[in-house]
């Protein structure tokens, strides 16, 4: 498993912004001198004296974006709220991108002033989008030091050397208001995708080992022994001796917590997931467009999706059309940086797996919807430009994003510009969904880091999607759905008997209370019980809003071309993470928009209004995820080398909704792992027929 990095959170100053409840870092309006103004919050918390490694080379390359704020930002925020809130006289009276630009975009004179200053400072000015949200430029470290009156330094952080300003940036006082600069520090290198599957990078080649169940509980440890045909060994990590258990005969694995356990599923098919979430064959997302934003672009994505959705996964109704030029296109936002990145966390192959998961999940839930894939040229700062491009041209009504930062310790230069983009999205009727993260409360269940929510999921204008463990029965029904929080027990032997180790924290759906955003209007009074007061006497934003299937041990079966030892080949495997939950939710929203007959936009106010129509049995708009019984778990068999039995097998127990040591917990009603719940039996009709 790729373990996302965790961010230490420092104390953050707060300020409320225009009704949305943004308590971001203190605004940058102080003057460094009579002729310059500082951009407060432009130095990340990890750029401190203790981590300092020296000055950045003067000839080093920098590519960055200078973001300008909206004109009359308070009115833009108010508009975003009004068009998104049922009961408002402006509800669903969305504006077009051209109308938004006319009312709120920075003036051409402001953009020209920034461009001229950058050119005078020696930078090449690359691109400005039509909404004038930013000016992209590139040059050298020496030019950046001089232009922004700072010194870029090198800092040791999480095993990397990252660039950041040694002191707060400043710009000439004559320039228009600047909301942030992205690219002069390396915070973007800390972004990660939120999928978990094989405990290895999918594109490196992975296969699930048997036994595997086709549905929940089909095979259990007492009915299906692990056979020598499945592999020559059960390896025993953390043993008291060096002995491993050779499987000369089939082995029945020991009970866990006093009883046999079901084996993990092979991965649910789209047909099974559609059934579990109560979709009918007529609910296909027809007429809707969903955008998927990731980094890079898998060269095999079209063939992979079309191979996956062949007869084997069509089901009896043949719902899933092949991808072609009429229902799928890939876009690279203009102005993205195409130079080799100085970053150390680039992982194109891992992001290929992310794209495959996202496209196959959206297509499964909304097979008739059009899909636009927007791939950033790198997995760093260009993700912000990709989202701005989707919003500025309204390429879709629904956007799913399966990436984020482990926490909220980001400079204001990241937080405010993205919030502005999300404001434009809400005003235009675009619903933006972000995965809530795959590392629970970011403490690692060991108390070494403070609990925190992930960003951008914590932004109040995002629908944050948490994750669940899902049991689908033989008839396709949802047997139960529980919060995704997993601890792992390994198989061990003393040379004579097999037993399980004490479970240790592994992963789980992200959630918690924001440290930088105050409570948005739609979460009051739904979010109660003190969750909103965890970090402050003033109520704050709590994550997530909703949830869907995410646990990799009860995940979705996907198909992807991978690099195996014998060469590249298409293969299918089970995968999960809140990277699965977000596109599942996006696809369901396409179905809901199809039923409603027009775009729904930012849906949180509507969702929280429907939250009362929830039940643990799933009969309402939302299925209220309740705490699991103690000991609920699955047994998982894995190939030690990830692809075949050559090096033996690994056996483990994966617990379900095991929140031991965490600060976030599943509760009746709203909770900080699953939000108001998962889509219930009447979700589509309830959303479609909700009274404005």
User: Mind listing the pLDDT tens digit for each residue in 360-381?
Assistant: 999 999 999 999 998 876 655 6
Q: What angle do CA 563, 567, 572 make, to 5 degrees?
A: 50
Helix, coil or strand: residue 609: helix
Q: Is 394 left (phi over 0), alpha (psi -120 to 50) or beta?
A: left
3-state helix vs strand vs coil in the chain, percent to 5:
25, 25, 50
Beta bridge partners of 246: 233
Q: Residue 244: pLDDT above 50?
A: no
Neighbours of 461 (CB within 10 A): 28
> What CATH superfamily is the domain 262-689?
Peptidase S8/S53 domain (3.40.50.200)
pLDDT tens digits for range 614-643: 555 656 899 999 999 988 999 999 988 888
CA distance 512 to 374: 29
Cα–Cα–Cα angle for 260, 214, 204, rounded to 5 degrees: 100
Output the six-digit token pair for 186. Answer: 């390396």
Instruction: List, for residues 6-64, the tens digit of each pLDDT value.
Output: 222 333 333 333 344 444 333 333 334 459 999 887 887 778 888 888 899 999 888 89
The Cα-based distances of 237 to 234, 494, 496, 636, 654 in angstroms read 10, 11, 15, 15, 16
327-363 b/e with 16+ CB inside 10 Å = b?
ebebbbbebbbeeebbbebbbeebbbbbbbbbbbbbb
| C-beta neighbour count of 564 within 10 angstroms | 16
pLDDT at residue 195 tops 70:
no
317 band by pLDDT with thresholds 50, 70 and 90: low
**Secondary structure class of 332 (helix, strand, coil):** coil
Q: What distance in Å separates the CA atoms of residue 468 and residue 656, rounded to the nearest whole number? A: 9
**Is the pLDDT reported for residue 206 higher than 90?**
no
pLDDT score of 406 more than 60 = yes
Higher pLDDT, 445 or 547: 547
Domain spans, the chain: 16-192, 262-689
How far apart are the C-alpha atoms of 244 and 492, rounded to whole Å? 9
Alpha-carbon distances of 554 from 178, 196, 288, 642, 653, rounded to whole Å: 46, 11, 28, 18, 13
Tell me, what's the pLDDT at 349? 54
Query: How many CA atoms does the CB half-sphere of 42 hold within 13 Å?
Result: 30
How distant, in Å, are the alpha carbons of 17, 20, 71, 140, 451 from that of 75? Answer: 11, 11, 9, 38, 34
Q: What does the chain come to in residues? A: 692
pLDDT, one tens digit per residue, over 504-532 is 999 999 999 999 999 999 998 888 778 99
- Identify the burial level of 581 via C-beta atoms within 10 angstroms of its C-beta, where 0-12 means exposed, 13-18 middle and 19 or more buried: buried
Query: CB within 8 A of 506, min separation 6: which ones?
Result: 1, 486, 487, 488, 654
3-state SS record for 396-460:
CCEEEECEEECCCCCCHHHHHHHHHHHHHHHHHCCEEEEECCCECCCCCCCCCCCCCCCECCCCC
pLDDT class of 338 with cuts at 50, 70, 90: low
Residues with Cβ within 8 Å of residue 534, at least 6 apart in sequence = 451, 512, 513, 540, 663
pLDDT tens digits, residue range 49-102? 888 888 999 998 888 999 999 999 999 999 999 999 999 999 999 999 999 999
For residue 91, give every residue at least 6 positions away whose Cβ sits within 8 Å of its Cβ, in sequence order, or none.
82, 83, 84, 85, 692
pLDDT of residue 562: 87
Give pLDDT, residue 404: 85
Stretch 657-670: mean pLDDT, rounded?
93
In the predicted model, what is the mean pLDDT of residues 215-221?
Answer: 96
pLDDT in tens, 91-137: 999 999 999 999 999 999 999 999 999 999 999 999 999 999 999 99
pLDDT at 31: 35
d(CA 126, CA 128): 7
Neighbour-count burial for 614-628, b at 16+ CB within 10 Å, e otherwise = beeebebbbbbbbeb
β-sheet bridge partners, residue 499: 492
Statement: residue 411 has pLDDT above 80:
no
Backbone φ and ψ of 184, nearest 5°: -85, -10
For residue 640, which of 491, 486, 487 has the smallest C-alpha distance?
491
**Taking 80 as the threshold, does the pLDDT of residue 591 lie above it?**
yes
> Residue 232's pLDDT is what?
66
The continuous run of DSSP H or E covering 515 comes out as strand 512-518
* pLDDT at residue 299, rounded to an integer: 82
> Distance between CA atoms of 381 and 62, rounded to whole angstroms?
12
Element (H or E) spanning 118, and its range? helix 108-120
What confidence score (pLDDT) does residue 238 get? Answer: 42
Contacts 24+ apart (CB under 8 A), 28-37: 28/168, 28/178, 28/412, 31/173, 32/149, 32/168, 32/170, 33/170, 34/173, 35/172, 35/173, 36/149, 36/170, 36/171, 36/172, 36/173, 37/170, 37/171, 37/172, 37/173, 37/175
Are 210 and 445 in contact by the 8 Å Cβ rule? The answer is: no
Residue that is written with structure tokens 């467009």 in the block: 289
176 CB burial (10 A radius; 0-12, 13-18, 19+): middle
d(CA 21, CA 12): 15
Q: Is the pLDDT of residue 552 over 50?
A: yes
Do residues 471 and 217 touch, judged by C-beta distance below 8 A?
yes
Sign of the torsion formed by the C-alpha atoms of 512, 515, 516 and 522: positive
């Amino acid at each position: 498993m790729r373990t996302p990095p965790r961010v230490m959170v420092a104390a953050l100053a707060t300020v409320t912004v225009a009704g949305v409840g943004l308590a971001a870092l203190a605004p940058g309006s102080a003057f460094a001198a009579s002729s310059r103004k500082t951009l407060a919050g432009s130095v990340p918390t990890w750029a401190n004296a203790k981590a300092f490694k020296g000055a950045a080379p003067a000839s080093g390359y920098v590519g960055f974006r200078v973001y300008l704020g909206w004109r009359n930002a308070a009115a833009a925020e108010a508009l975003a709220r009004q068009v998104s809130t049922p009961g408002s006289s402006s509800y669903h009276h969305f504006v077009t991108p051209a109308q938004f630009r006319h009312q709120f975009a920075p003036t051409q004179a402001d953009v020209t002033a920034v461009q001229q200053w950058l050119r005078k400072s020696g930078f090449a000015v690359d691109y400005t989008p039509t909404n004038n949200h930013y000016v992209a430029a590139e040059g050298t470290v020496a030019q950046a030091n001089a232009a922004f009156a700072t010194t870029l330094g090198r800092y040791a952080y999480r095993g990397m050397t990252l660039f950041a300003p040694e002191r707060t940036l400043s710009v000439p006082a004559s320039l228009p208001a600047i909301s942030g600069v992205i690219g002069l520090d390396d915070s973007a290198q800390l972004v990660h995708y939120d999928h978990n599957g094989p405990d290895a990078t999918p594109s490196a080649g992975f296969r699930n080992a048997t036994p595997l169940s086709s549905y929940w509980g089909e095979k259990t440890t007492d009915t299906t022994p692990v056979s020598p045909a499945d592999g020559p060994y059960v390896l025993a990590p953390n043993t008291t001796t060096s002995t491993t258990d050779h499987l000369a005969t089939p082995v029945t694995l020991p009970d866990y917590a006093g009883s046999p356990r079901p084996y993990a599923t092979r991965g649910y098919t789209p047909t099974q997931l559609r059934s579990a979430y109560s979709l009918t064959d007529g609910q296909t997302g027809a007429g809707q467009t969903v955008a998927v934003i990731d980094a890079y672009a898998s060269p095999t994505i079209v063939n992979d999706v079309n191979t996956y959705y062949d007869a084997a996964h069509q089901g009896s109704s043949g719902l899933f059309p092949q991808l072609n030029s009429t229902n799928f296109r890939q876009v690279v936002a203009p102005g993205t940086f195409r130079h080799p990145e100085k970053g150390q966390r680039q992982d194109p192959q891992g992001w290929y797996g992310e794209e495959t998961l996202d496209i196959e999940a959206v297509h499964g839930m909304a097979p008739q919807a059009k899909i636009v894939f927007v791939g950033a040229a790198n997995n760093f700062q260009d993700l912000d430009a990709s989202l701005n491009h989707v919003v500025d041209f309204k390429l879709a009504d629904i956007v799913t994003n399966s990436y984020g930062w482990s926490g909220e310790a980001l400079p204001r230069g990241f937080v405010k510009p993205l919030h502005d983009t999300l404001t434009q999205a809400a005003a235009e009727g675009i619903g933006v969904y972000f995965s809530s993260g795959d590392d629970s409360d970011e403490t690692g269940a060991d108390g070494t880091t403070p609990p925190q929510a992930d960003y951008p999921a914590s932004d109040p204008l995002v629908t944050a999607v948490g994750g669940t463990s899902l049991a689908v029965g033989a008839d396709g029904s949802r047997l139960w759905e529980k919060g995704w929080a997993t601890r792992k027990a390994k198989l061990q032997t003393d040379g004579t008997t097999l037993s399980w180790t004490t479970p240790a924290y592994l992963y789980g759906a992200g959630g918690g209370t924001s440290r930088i955003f105050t409570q948005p209007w739609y979460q009051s009074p739904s979010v109660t019980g003190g969750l909103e007061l965890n970090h402050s006497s003033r109520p704050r934003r709590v994550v997530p809003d909703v949830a869907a299937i995410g646990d990799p041990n009860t995940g979705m079966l996907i198909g992807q071309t991978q690099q195996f030892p014998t060469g590249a080949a298409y293969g299918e495997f089970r995968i999960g993470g809140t990277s699965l939950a977000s596109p599942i939710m996006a696809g369901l929203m396409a179905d809901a928009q199809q039923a409603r007959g027009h775009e729904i936009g930012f849906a949180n106010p509507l969702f929280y209004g429907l939250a009362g129509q929830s039940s643990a049995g799933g009969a309402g708009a939302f299925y209220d995820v309740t705490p699991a019984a103690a000991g609920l778990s699955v047994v998982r068999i894995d190939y030690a080398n990830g692809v075949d039995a050559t090096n033996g097998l690994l056996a483990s127990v994966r617990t379900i909704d095991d929140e031991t040591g965490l600060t976030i917990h599943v509760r009746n009603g709203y909770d900080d792992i699953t939000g108001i719940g998962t889509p219930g039996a009447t979700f589509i009709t309830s959303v479609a027929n909700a009274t404005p």
